[in-house]
Chain A
């Protein structure tokens, strides 16, 4: 039986493990967009386990039911080899997939920086409200605030961009940057004391949005 299929037997022994390992890493790349990092031990363990199961299963998958004549037929070795690969790749994928990540992890620095930024802008808006109509509140005397605010947000954005799967937070920061520009343009046109209220509401909503998402990324961990 095995003499006739010796080429396939040799191919399976030599090429089989190479195909399984190569396919694992390809699959891992695909699945890896959702996964956290895999430890080296997990990869090695998965490969050894898969090879062991592959050869053990090879003894059984080739057997089929008895035909009408009562003779047991054997699946050709090449077909058994192909059939074995698919479930084993799935086992490999799941072996590495202990959990998935769809969004970035919590970052304490972003949390702290946005909280500090909100405090800074609230101080500024209170200053505008209190001094509306006076020289202290004129745009020309407050350009430093806008420069600093843009620098602060830029630094937060750089930090957020360095963290994988953080697109939503990046968009939130971009919206906040846009509103700082809107505020600056409004300031140039003039802001009365009562008109600070909707500005404060919008900025606070945005800071809350960033912080709410950031805190939720803790995923129940303290």
Chain B
């Protein structure tokens, strides 16, 4: 029975887990930047409308409430994307363990 090299196993697990996390961040970052930019422009517009008297305080509050909900939606989606990335990382590491154990034992225990 081949022995399992624990330090090599750990390195492989970390490399496997790192991949999905690094891969997902640029896409999440682009999405967040685009959406927050739009929200920022909308808030600016609301402020201008209020300053020139085209929007009452009550209207401005409702408009800002909508922008706040939109911001929360973006943050929630980022949280979801983060969970998916963590899930992929954990599964990648589990796969490494599975392969190492099965290789060492020379039969598919896991």
Contact = CB atoms under 8 A, between A and B. Distances in A.
Contacts of B66: 179, 182-183, 198-199, 202-203
Contacts of A192: 54
Contacts of A219: 84, 88
A155 interface: no
Contact of A172 (B38, B59, B77, B110): B77
Interface string B70-110: 10111011011101101110110010011000000000011
Given A175-B69, A179-B69, A168 B76 contact: yes
B19 interface: no
B35 A205 contact: yes
A189 B74 contact: no
A98 B76 contact: no
Interface residues of A, number: 44
B55 interface: yes
B84 A217 contact: yes
A102 interface: yes
B81 A216 contact: yes
Contact of B70 (A94, A99, A102, A206): A206
A98 B98 contact: yes
Interface in A174-222: 175-176, 178-179, 182-183, 185-186, 189-190, 192, 194-195, 197-199, 201-203, 205-206, 208-210, 212-213, 216-217, 219
Given A209-B35, A213-B77, 16 more contacts: A95-B109, A95-B110, A98-B110, A100-B87, A100-B94, A103-B83, A168-B83, A172-B73, A178-B65, A179-B69, A182-B62, A189-B56, A195-B54, A202-B42, A202-B67, A209-B77
**Closest 6 A-B residue pairs measured CB to CB?**
A198-B42, A209-B73, A202-B70, A205-B70, A202-B66, A209-B77
12 contacts: A94-B94, A102-B86, A182-B69, A189-B56, A190-B59, A194-B54, A195-B49, A198-B66, A202-B70, A205-B73, A209-B70, A216-B81
Interface of B: 31, 35, 38-39, 41-43, 45-46, 49, 54-56, 58-59, 62-63, 65-67, 69-70, 72-74, 76-77, 79-81, 83-84, 86-88, 90-91, 94, 97-98, 109-110
